Structure 1
Amino acid sequence: MWTRIKWGIRILLALIVGLFLHYTLPQRDVVQIINTYNRITQIGGNWMFYAIEDTGTGVETATTSRDIRYIDAVFANGKTMTYRNEDTGWFWPPYFKWNSSTLQAEATNAARTPGQWVAVTHYGWRLPIFSIFPNAVSITKVEGPDVTLIPWVNIIILSVLAFVLFMLRKMWLQFRERMVDPALAEVGETFDAAGQRVESARKEARGFFGRIGAWLNTWRAKR
Protein backbone atom coordinates (compact mmCIF):
# COMPACT_ATOMS: atom_id res chain seq x y z
CA MET A 1 0.00 0.00 0.00
CA TRP A 2 2.76 2.44 0.97
CA THR A 3 4.62 1.62 -2.25
CA ARG A 4 1.56 2.58 -4.30
CA ILE A 5 1.20 5.84 -2.38
CA LYS A 6 4.85 6.72 -3.00
CA TRP A 7 4.55 5.99 -6.72
CA GLY A 8 1.32 8.00 -6.86
CA ILE A 9 3.08 10.99 -5.28
CA ARG A 10 6.01 10.64 -7.69
CA ILE A 11 3.72 10.48 -10.74
CA LEU A 12 1.75 13.52 -9.50
CA LEU A 13 4.93 15.55 -8.97
CA ALA A 14 6.27 14.52 -12.39
CA LEU A 15 2.96 15.56 -13.99
CA ILE A 16 3.02 18.97 -12.26
CA VAL A 17 6.64 19.60 -13.28
CA GLY A 18 5.93 18.45 -16.84
CA LEU A 19 2.92 20.77 -17.21
CA PHE A 20 4.89 23.66 -15.73
CA LEU A 21 7.76 23.16 -18.17
CA HIS A 22 5.40 22.68 -21.13
CA TYR A 23 3.67 25.97 -20.32
CA THR A 24 6.83 27.95 -19.58
CA LEU A 25 9.39 26.75 -22.12
CA PRO A 26 9.39 28.46 -25.55
CA GLN A 27 7.60 26.82 -28.46
CA ARG A 28 7.65 27.77 -32.13
CA ASP A 29 4.80 27.62 -34.63
CA VAL A 30 5.33 28.03 -38.38
CA VAL A 31 2.31 30.01 -39.54
CA GLN A 32 1.04 32.77 -41.78
CA ILE A 33 -0.23 35.84 -39.90
CA ILE A 34 -3.62 36.93 -41.21
CA ASN A 35 -4.68 39.67 -38.78
CA THR A 36 -3.57 41.84 -35.87
CA TYR A 37 -5.77 43.91 -33.57
CA ASN A 38 -6.34 45.26 -30.07
CA ARG A 39 -9.27 44.18 -27.90
CA ILE A 40 -10.57 45.07 -24.46
CA THR A 41 -10.25 41.80 -22.54
CA GLN A 42 -11.92 40.96 -19.25
CA ILE A 43 -9.50 39.39 -16.78
CA GLY A 44 -11.09 37.22 -14.09
CA GLY A 45 -10.25 33.82 -12.65
CA ASN A 46 -7.76 33.27 -15.48
CA TRP A 47 -5.58 36.21 -14.34
CA MET A 48 -2.57 33.93 -13.70
CA PHE A 49 -2.34 33.22 -17.45
CA TYR A 50 -1.93 36.91 -18.31
CA ALA A 51 0.92 39.31 -17.73
CA ILE A 52 0.86 41.64 -14.74
CA GLU A 53 -1.46 44.45 -15.77
CA ASP A 54 0.94 47.42 -15.40
CA THR A 55 3.95 45.73 -17.04
CA GLY A 56 5.52 48.06 -19.56
CA THR A 57 3.09 50.94 -18.89
CA GLY A 58 4.57 52.62 -15.85
CA VAL A 59 1.04 53.00 -14.47
CA GLU A 60 -0.48 50.88 -11.73
CA THR A 61 -4.13 50.00 -12.24
CA ALA A 62 -6.64 47.82 -10.45
CA THR A 63 -9.10 47.18 -13.27
CA THR A 64 -10.36 43.77 -14.38
CA SER A 65 -10.18 44.62 -18.09
CA ARG A 66 -7.26 45.59 -20.30
CA ASP A 67 -6.55 46.60 -23.88
CA ILE A 68 -4.50 43.62 -25.13
CA ARG A 69 -2.85 43.10 -28.51
CA TYR A 70 -3.71 39.93 -30.43
CA ILE A 71 -2.26 38.16 -33.47
CA ASP A 72 -4.32 35.78 -35.64
CA ALA A 73 -2.45 33.14 -37.64
CA VAL A 74 -3.11 30.04 -39.72
CA PHE A 75 -1.10 26.82 -40.05
CA ALA A 76 -0.32 25.03 -43.30
CA ASN A 77 -3.11 22.51 -42.58
CA GLY A 78 -5.67 25.30 -42.26
CA LYS A 79 -5.95 25.32 -38.47
CA THR A 80 -5.96 28.74 -36.86
CA MET A 81 -4.28 30.12 -33.76
CA THR A 82 -4.63 33.36 -31.81
CA TYR A 83 -1.73 34.71 -29.80
CA ARG A 84 -1.79 37.51 -27.27
CA ASN A 85 1.05 40.01 -27.34
CA GLU A 86 1.92 41.24 -23.84
CA ASP A 87 5.15 42.40 -22.22
CA THR A 88 6.46 40.11 -19.49
CA GLY A 89 8.85 42.64 -17.96
CA TRP A 90 10.96 41.35 -15.10
CA PHE A 91 8.32 38.89 -13.95
CA TRP A 92 7.68 35.22 -14.65
CA PRO A 93 8.20 33.67 -17.14
CA PRO A 94 11.64 35.28 -17.45
CA TYR A 95 11.49 36.30 -21.11
CA PHE A 96 12.19 39.97 -20.27
CA LYS A 97 9.93 41.07 -23.08
CA TRP A 98 9.39 44.83 -23.44
CA ASN A 99 8.78 45.14 -27.19
CA SER A 100 5.13 44.21 -27.62
CA SER A 101 4.51 47.36 -29.74
CA THR A 102 7.40 46.50 -32.07
CA LEU A 103 6.30 42.88 -32.25
CA GLN A 104 2.76 43.97 -33.17
CA ALA A 105 4.19 46.09 -36.00
CA GLU A 106 6.23 43.12 -37.26
CA ALA A 107 3.14 40.91 -37.15
CA THR A 108 1.08 43.53 -39.01
CA ASN A 109 3.77 43.79 -41.69
CA ALA A 110 3.84 39.97 -42.06
CA ALA A 111 0.04 39.93 -42.38
CA ARG A 112 0.26 42.45 -45.24
CA THR A 113 2.93 40.43 -47.06
CA PRO A 114 1.24 37.75 -49.23
CA GLY A 115 2.64 34.25 -48.78
CA GLN A 116 4.93 35.22 -45.91
CA TRP A 117 5.64 32.36 -43.51
CA VAL A 118 6.96 33.13 -40.04
CA ALA A 119 8.00 31.22 -36.94
CA VAL A 120 6.16 32.58 -33.92
CA THR A 121 8.02 31.89 -30.68
CA HIS A 122 5.62 31.78 -27.77
CA TYR A 123 4.91 30.23 -24.41
CA GLY A 124 1.64 29.13 -22.84
CA TRP A 125 -1.47 27.31 -23.99
CA ARG A 126 -4.59 28.02 -26.01
CA LEU A 127 -7.61 27.01 -23.94
CA PRO A 128 -10.76 28.58 -25.44
CA ILE A 129 -13.00 27.47 -22.58
CA PHE A 130 -10.95 29.62 -20.16
CA SER A 131 -10.09 32.39 -22.69
CA ILE A 132 -6.37 31.59 -22.38
CA PHE A 133 -3.98 32.49 -25.20
CA PRO A 134 -0.28 31.77 -25.71
CA ASN A 135 1.89 34.87 -25.46
CA ALA A 136 3.97 35.62 -28.57
CA VAL A 137 7.60 36.47 -27.77
CA SER A 138 9.18 36.92 -31.19
CA ILE A 139 8.49 36.56 -34.91
CA THR A 140 11.07 35.31 -37.41
CA LYS A 141 10.66 35.02 -41.18
CA VAL A 142 11.15 31.49 -42.58
CA GLU A 143 11.29 30.06 -46.09
CA GLY A 144 8.14 27.96 -45.87
CA PRO A 145 5.91 25.72 -43.78
CA ASP A 146 8.27 22.73 -44.06
CA VAL A 147 11.25 24.43 -42.44
CA THR A 148 13.01 22.42 -39.72
CA LEU A 149 13.39 24.23 -36.40
CA ILE A 150 15.61 22.68 -33.72
CA PRO A 151 14.58 23.71 -30.19
CA TRP A 152 18.10 24.47 -28.97
CA VAL A 153 16.90 26.57 -26.03
CA ASN A 154 14.69 23.79 -24.71
CA ILE A 155 17.43 21.21 -25.22
CA ILE A 156 19.91 23.31 -23.23
CA ILE A 157 17.45 24.11 -20.42
CA LEU A 158 16.26 20.50 -20.07
CA SER A 159 19.86 19.25 -20.16
CA VAL A 160 20.83 21.66 -17.38
CA LEU A 161 17.79 20.63 -15.32
CA ALA A 162 18.60 16.95 -15.83
CA PHE A 163 22.20 17.58 -14.72
CA VAL A 164 21.02 19.49 -11.63
CA LEU A 165 18.58 16.71 -10.71
CA PHE A 166 21.31 14.11 -11.22
CA MET A 167 23.70 16.02 -8.93
CA LEU A 168 20.99 16.56 -6.29
CA ARG A 169 20.17 12.86 -6.31
CA LYS A 170 23.86 11.97 -6.04
CA MET A 171 24.28 14.39 -3.12
CA TRP A 172 21.22 12.94 -1.41
CA LEU A 173 22.48 9.37 -1.83
CA GLN A 174 25.86 10.35 -0.36
CA PHE A 175 24.16 12.18 2.52
CA ARG A 176 21.92 9.20 3.21
CA GLU A 177 24.88 6.81 3.08
CA ARG A 178 27.00 8.93 5.44
CA MET A 179 24.37 10.33 7.82
CA VAL A 180 20.91 8.80 7.53
CA ASP A 181 21.73 5.11 7.15
CA PRO A 182 24.24 5.05 10.08
CA ALA A 183 21.75 6.91 12.27
CA LEU A 184 18.98 4.46 11.37
CA ALA A 185 21.34 1.54 11.96
CA GLU A 186 22.27 2.96 15.36
CA VAL A 187 18.62 3.38 16.26
CA GLY A 188 17.95 -0.18 15.14
CA GLU A 189 20.87 -1.48 17.23
CA THR A 190 19.57 0.47 20.22
CA PHE A 191 16.14 -1.10 19.84
CA ASP A 192 17.72 -4.55 19.40
CA ALA A 193 19.83 -4.08 22.52
CA ALA A 194 16.79 -2.89 24.46
CA GLY A 195 14.83 -5.91 23.23
CA GLN A 196 17.62 -8.23 24.27
CA ARG A 197 17.72 -6.67 27.75
CA VAL A 198 13.97 -7.03 28.06
CA GLU A 199 14.15 -10.66 26.98
CA SER A 200 17.00 -11.31 29.41
CA ALA A 201 15.01 -9.72 32.20
CA ARG A 202 12.05 -11.91 31.34
CA LYS A 203 14.21 -15.01 31.44
CA GLU A 204 15.69 -14.01 34.78
CA ALA A 205 12.24 -13.32 36.13
CA ARG A 206 10.99 -16.69 34.92
CA GLY A 207 14.03 -18.36 36.48
CA PHE A 208 13.56 -16.53 39.78
CA PHE A 209 9.86 -17.31 40.01
CA GLY A 210 10.55 -20.83 38.84
CA ARG A 211 12.98 -21.36 41.75
CA ILE A 212 10.42 -19.96 44.18
CA GLY A 213 7.78 -22.29 42.75
CA ALA A 214 10.13 -25.28 43.10
CA TRP A 215 10.89 -24.33 46.71
CA LEU A 216 7.19 -24.08 47.48
CA ASN A 217 6.61 -27.47 45.91
CA THR A 218 9.18 -29.02 48.28
CA TRP A 219 7.21 -27.69 51.24
CA ARG A 220 4.01 -29.09 49.82
CA ALA A 221 5.70 -32.46 49.43
CA LYS A 222 6.77 -32.50 53.10
CA ARG A 223 3.20 -32.00 54.19
Structure 2
Amino acid sequence: MRNLQVVLGVLFGVAVFLFLDYALPSRTTVRVTNVYNQITDLGANTIFYASADSGTVETADGRRDIRYIATVQPNGRPYVYRNEDTGWIWPPYFKYDSANLHAIAADSVSTAAEPRWMNVTSYGWRISWATIYPNAISMRQVSGPGDAPLNWPAMIVLGVMGALLLLLWRMWNQFRERSIDPVVARADRAIGQVDQRLDAARDRVVAEGREARGRYRGWLDSWRGKPRR
Protein backbone atom coordinates (compact mmCIF):
# COMPACT_ATOMS: atom_id res chain seq x y z
CA MET A 1 0.00 0.00 0.00
CA ARG A 2 2.85 2.36 0.84
CA ASN A 3 4.51 1.69 -2.53
CA LEU A 4 1.22 2.36 -4.33
CA GLN A 5 0.88 5.71 -2.57
CA VAL A 6 4.43 6.64 -3.57
CA VAL A 7 3.80 5.70 -7.22
CA LEU A 8 0.53 7.67 -7.31
CA GLY A 9 2.24 10.66 -5.71
CA VAL A 10 5.06 10.60 -8.28
CA LEU A 11 2.58 10.28 -11.18
CA PHE A 12 0.54 13.18 -9.82
CA GLY A 13 3.66 15.32 -9.46
CA VAL A 14 4.75 14.54 -13.04
CA ALA A 15 1.25 15.37 -14.36
CA VAL A 16 1.24 18.73 -12.53
CA PHE A 17 4.74 19.55 -13.84
CA LEU A 18 3.77 18.73 -17.45
CA PHE A 19 0.56 20.74 -17.14
CA LEU A 20 2.38 23.80 -15.85
CA ASP A 21 5.19 23.40 -18.38
CA TYR A 22 2.63 23.46 -21.21
CA ALA A 23 0.22 26.11 -19.94
CA LEU A 24 2.54 28.69 -18.37
CA PRO A 25 4.00 31.39 -20.63
CA SER A 26 7.63 31.17 -21.69
CA ARG A 27 9.88 33.76 -23.29
CA THR A 28 12.43 33.05 -26.02
CA THR A 29 14.67 35.42 -27.96
CA VAL A 30 14.66 34.57 -31.69
CA ARG A 31 15.13 36.05 -35.16
CA VAL A 32 12.02 35.95 -37.38
CA THR A 33 12.75 34.50 -40.84
CA ASN A 34 9.29 34.07 -42.34
CA VAL A 35 5.54 34.32 -41.71
CA TYR A 36 3.01 32.29 -43.68
CA ASN A 37 -0.39 30.62 -43.71
CA GLN A 38 -0.77 26.88 -44.21
CA ILE A 39 -3.75 24.55 -44.55
CA THR A 40 -3.10 22.01 -41.77
CA ASP A 41 -4.62 18.57 -41.25
CA LEU A 42 -5.46 17.99 -37.61
CA GLY A 43 -5.90 14.55 -36.10
CA ALA A 44 -5.02 13.23 -32.65
CA ASN A 45 -3.04 16.44 -32.01
CA THR A 46 -6.20 18.60 -32.14
CA ILE A 47 -6.07 19.17 -28.37
CA PHE A 48 -2.81 21.13 -28.87
CA TYR A 49 -4.53 23.64 -31.17
CA ALA A 50 -7.10 26.34 -30.53
CA SER A 51 -10.75 25.37 -30.27
CA ALA A 52 -12.86 25.58 -33.40
CA ASP A 53 -15.00 28.40 -31.99
CA SER A 54 -12.04 30.76 -31.44
CA GLY A 55 -12.41 32.26 -34.92
CA THR A 56 -10.03 29.91 -36.75
CA VAL A 57 -10.95 29.36 -40.41
CA GLU A 58 -11.63 25.74 -41.34
CA THR A 59 -12.30 24.18 -44.74
CA ALA A 60 -15.32 22.04 -45.53
CA ASP A 61 -13.31 18.85 -44.94
CA GLY A 62 -12.15 19.96 -41.45
CA ARG A 63 -8.69 21.24 -42.35
CA ARG A 64 -7.59 24.48 -40.71
CA ASP A 65 -5.95 27.61 -42.10
CA ILE A 66 -3.29 28.43 -39.52
CA ARG A 67 -0.81 31.28 -39.34
CA TYR A 68 2.81 30.31 -38.60
CA ILE A 69 5.88 32.30 -37.56
CA ALA A 70 9.22 30.76 -38.56
CA THR A 71 12.18 31.82 -36.42
CA VAL A 72 15.79 30.95 -35.71
CA GLN A 73 17.25 30.80 -32.22
CA PRO A 74 20.61 32.41 -31.35
CA ASN A 75 22.25 28.97 -31.56
CA GLY A 76 21.05 28.62 -35.17
CA ARG A 77 18.28 26.10 -34.52
CA PRO A 78 14.92 26.72 -36.20
CA TYR A 79 11.85 27.20 -34.03
CA VAL A 80 8.35 27.54 -35.50
CA TYR A 81 5.34 29.06 -33.73
CA ARG A 82 1.67 28.88 -34.61
CA ASN A 83 -0.32 32.08 -34.29
CA GLU A 84 -3.91 31.32 -33.23
CA ASP A 85 -6.48 33.14 -31.17
CA THR A 86 -7.25 31.37 -27.91
CA GLY A 87 -10.68 32.89 -27.30
CA TRP A 88 -12.28 32.31 -23.92
CA ILE A 89 -11.33 28.62 -23.86
CA TRP A 90 -8.34 27.09 -22.12
CA PRO A 91 -5.69 28.28 -21.65
CA PRO A 92 -7.11 31.64 -20.52
CA TYR A 93 -4.84 33.99 -22.45
CA PHE A 94 -7.85 35.72 -24.10
CA LYS A 95 -5.88 36.27 -27.28
CA TYR A 96 -7.87 37.83 -30.13
CA ASP A 97 -5.13 39.72 -31.98
CA SER A 98 -3.46 37.00 -34.02
CA ALA A 99 -3.83 39.18 -37.16
CA ASN A 100 -1.99 42.05 -35.46
CA LEU A 101 0.72 39.69 -34.20
CA HIS A 102 1.07 38.33 -37.73
CA ALA A 103 1.66 41.86 -39.01
CA ILE A 104 4.24 42.56 -36.28
CA ALA A 105 6.06 39.31 -37.09
CA ALA A 106 6.05 40.11 -40.83
CA ASP A 107 7.54 43.52 -40.09
CA SER A 108 10.23 41.88 -37.92
CA VAL A 109 11.64 39.53 -40.59
CA SER A 110 15.41 39.91 -40.81
CA THR A 111 18.48 38.16 -42.22
CA ALA A 112 21.52 36.65 -40.54
CA ALA A 113 23.64 39.50 -41.93
CA GLU A 114 21.39 42.14 -40.38
CA PRO A 115 19.54 40.37 -37.54
CA ARG A 116 16.63 41.86 -35.65
CA TRP A 117 16.13 39.99 -32.42
CA MET A 118 12.62 39.57 -31.03
CA ASN A 119 11.56 38.17 -27.67
CA VAL A 120 8.48 35.98 -28.15
CA THR A 121 6.06 35.12 -25.34
CA SER A 122 4.30 31.82 -25.99
CA TYR A 123 2.85 28.71 -24.38
CA GLY A 124 2.92 25.07 -25.41
CA TRP A 125 5.47 22.64 -26.80
CA ARG A 126 7.29 22.16 -30.08
CA ILE A 127 7.12 18.46 -31.00
CA SER A 128 8.13 17.99 -34.63
CA TRP A 129 7.05 14.37 -35.13
CA ALA A 130 3.56 15.11 -33.74
CA THR A 131 3.17 18.42 -35.65
CA ILE A 132 2.71 20.38 -32.43
CA TYR A 133 3.71 24.04 -32.22
CA PRO A 134 3.76 26.54 -29.34
CA ASN A 135 1.25 29.36 -29.72
CA ALA A 136 2.83 32.82 -29.87
CA ILE A 137 1.09 35.36 -27.63
CA SER A 138 3.15 38.49 -28.17
CA MET A 139 6.59 39.67 -29.27
CA ARG A 140 8.79 42.70 -28.87
CA GLN A 141 12.21 43.73 -30.08
CA VAL A 142 15.24 43.35 -27.82
CA SER A 143 18.77 44.65 -28.06
CA GLY A 144 20.52 41.38 -28.86
CA PRO A 145 20.44 37.56 -28.80
CA GLY A 146 21.52 37.46 -25.18
CA ASP A 147 18.75 39.76 -23.99
CA ALA A 148 16.29 37.62 -22.00
CA PRO A 149 13.59 39.69 -20.24
CA LEU A 150 12.33 38.41 -16.93
CA ASN A 151 9.40 36.03 -17.32
CA TRP A 152 7.27 37.86 -14.76
CA PRO A 153 3.87 36.48 -15.95
CA ALA A 154 4.93 32.91 -15.12
CA MET A 155 6.46 34.08 -11.84
CA ILE A 156 3.21 35.81 -10.85
CA VAL A 157 1.13 32.72 -11.69
CA LEU A 158 3.47 30.46 -9.74
CA GLY A 159 3.47 32.89 -6.82
CA VAL A 160 -0.33 33.00 -6.73
CA MET A 161 -0.49 29.20 -6.96
CA GLY A 162 2.03 28.88 -4.15
CA ALA A 163 0.04 31.28 -1.96
CA LEU A 164 -3.17 29.33 -2.67
CA LEU A 165 -1.48 26.03 -1.84
CA LEU A 166 -0.14 27.51 1.41
CA LEU A 167 -3.64 28.79 2.27
CA LEU A 168 -5.19 25.41 1.50
CA TRP A 169 -2.52 23.65 3.58
CA ARG A 170 -3.22 25.90 6.59
CA MET A 171 -6.97 25.46 6.18
CA TRP A 172 -6.53 21.69 6.03
CA ASN A 173 -4.36 21.68 9.15
CA GLN A 174 -6.93 23.76 11.04
CA PHE A 175 -9.76 21.49 9.87
CA ARG A 176 -7.78 18.42 10.89
CA GLU A 177 -6.95 19.84 14.32
CA ARG A 178 -10.54 20.92 15.00
CA SER A 179 -12.52 18.10 13.39
CA ILE A 180 -10.46 15.04 12.54
CA ASP A 181 -7.94 14.81 15.39
CA PRO A 182 -10.62 14.91 18.17
CA VAL A 183 -12.58 12.15 16.41
CA VAL A 184 -9.43 10.06 16.04
CA ALA A 185 -8.55 10.66 19.70
CA ARG A 186 -12.04 9.59 20.81
CA ALA A 187 -11.83 6.53 18.59
CA ASP A 188 -8.43 5.65 20.08
CA ARG A 189 -9.81 6.01 23.60
CA ALA A 190 -12.84 3.88 22.73
CA ILE A 191 -10.60 1.21 21.20
CA GLY A 192 -8.38 1.33 24.28
CA GLN A 193 -11.39 0.88 26.56
CA VAL A 194 -12.61 -2.03 24.46
CA ASP A 195 -9.16 -3.59 24.66
CA GLN A 196 -9.16 -3.17 28.42
CA ARG A 197 -12.58 -4.81 28.69
CA LEU A 198 -11.47 -7.66 26.46
CA ASP A 199 -8.33 -8.16 28.54
CA ALA A 200 -10.38 -8.13 31.75
CA ALA A 201 -12.91 -10.57 30.29
CA ARG A 202 -10.12 -12.84 29.11
CA ASP A 203 -8.47 -12.77 32.54
CA ARG A 204 -11.82 -13.50 34.17
CA VAL A 205 -12.48 -16.44 31.85
CA VAL A 206 -8.99 -17.81 32.51
CA ALA A 207 -9.45 -17.47 36.27
CA GLU A 208 -12.87 -19.08 36.17
CA GLY A 209 -11.47 -21.86 34.01
CA ARG A 210 -8.72 -22.52 36.50
CA GLU A 211 -11.24 -22.49 39.36
CA ALA A 212 -13.51 -24.87 37.48
CA ARG A 213 -10.61 -27.25 36.80
CA GLY A 214 -9.70 -27.13 40.50
CA ARG A 215 -13.25 -28.02 41.53
CA TYR A 216 -13.34 -30.80 38.96
CA ARG A 217 -10.11 -32.28 40.28
CA GLY A 218 -11.51 -32.05 43.82
CA TRP A 219 -14.64 -33.88 42.74
CA LEU A 220 -12.58 -36.59 41.08
CA ASP A 221 -10.46 -36.94 44.17
CA SER A 222 -13.61 -37.34 46.29
CA TRP A 223 -14.65 -40.31 44.18
CA ARG A 224 -11.26 -41.89 44.09
CA GLY A 225 -10.85 -41.59 47.78
CA LYS A 226 -7.81 -40.21 49.44
CA PRO A 227 -5.34 -42.68 50.96
CA ARG A 228 -5.54 -42.89 54.72
CA ARG A 229 -2.60 -42.00 56.84
User: Scaled by the length of structure 2, what TM-score is found?
Assistant: 0.89
Q: Residue deviations 1:166-221, cap 9 Å, x none?
A: 11112112222222122112112212211221221122222223222222211211
- By how many angstroms is 1:63 displaced? 4.8
CA 148–172 in structure 1, closer or farther in 2 if over 3 Å, else same? same
Contact persistence 2:119–2:148 (CA under 8 A): no
The aligned counterpart of 1:13 is: 12
Q: Which residue number in structure 2 is paired with residue 35 of structure 1? A: 34
Q: For structure 2, which runs of at least 5 residues remain unmatched after alignment?
A: 224-229
**Preserved contact between residue 69 and residue 85 of structure 1 (Cα < 8 Å):** yes
Q: AA paired with 1:9?
A: L
Give the aligned partner of residue 197 of structure 1: 197
Name the amino acid aligned to 2:33: I
| Separation in structure 1 between the aligned mates of residue 60 and residue 173 of structure 2, nearest angstrom | 49
Aligned partners of 1:209 and 1:6: how far apart in 2?
A: 47
- The DSSP-based 3-state class of the residue aligned with 1:111 is coil
How big is the shift at 1:34?
0.5
In structure 1, what is the Cα distance between the partners aligned to 2:94 and 2:59? 21
Structure 1's unaligned 5+ residue stretches are none
Give the Cα–Cα distance (whole angstroms) in 1 for the partners of residues 59 and 197 of structure 2.
73
Letter in 1 for 2:189: E
Amino acid at match of 1:177: E
1:145 and 1:174 map into 2 onto residues whose CA distance is 50
Q: CA RMSD in A?
A: 2.0
Tell me if the contact between 1:35 and 1:108 (Cα under 8 Å) persists in the aligned partners.
Answer: yes
SS at match of 1:88: coil
From 89, 94, 109, give the equivalent of 1:96. 94
Distance (Å, rounded) in 1 between the aligned partners of 2:106 and 2:198: 85
Q: Distance in 1 between matches of 2:142 and 2:136?
A: 16
- d(CA) in 1 for partners of 2:153, 2:222: 99
1:122 offset after TM fit, Å?
A: 0.6
The question of whether the paired residues in 2 share the 8 Å contact of 1:28 and 1:121 is answered with yes
Mean alpha-carbon deviation: is it higher for 207-216 or for 31-40? 207-216
Look up the match of 1:70: 68
For 1:61 and 1:204, locate their aligned partners in 2 and report how far apart those are by CA, in whole Å. 87
Q: Matched residues in 1 for 2:161 and 2:5: separation?
A: 23
Q: Tell me, in whole angstroms, the C-alpha distance in 2 between the residues paired with 1:12 and 1:41.
A: 33
User: For 2:146, what is the secondary structure of its paired residue?
Assistant: coil
Identical amino acids, percent of aligned pairs: 42
Give the CA deviation at 1:62. 8.0
Higher Cα radius of gyration: 2
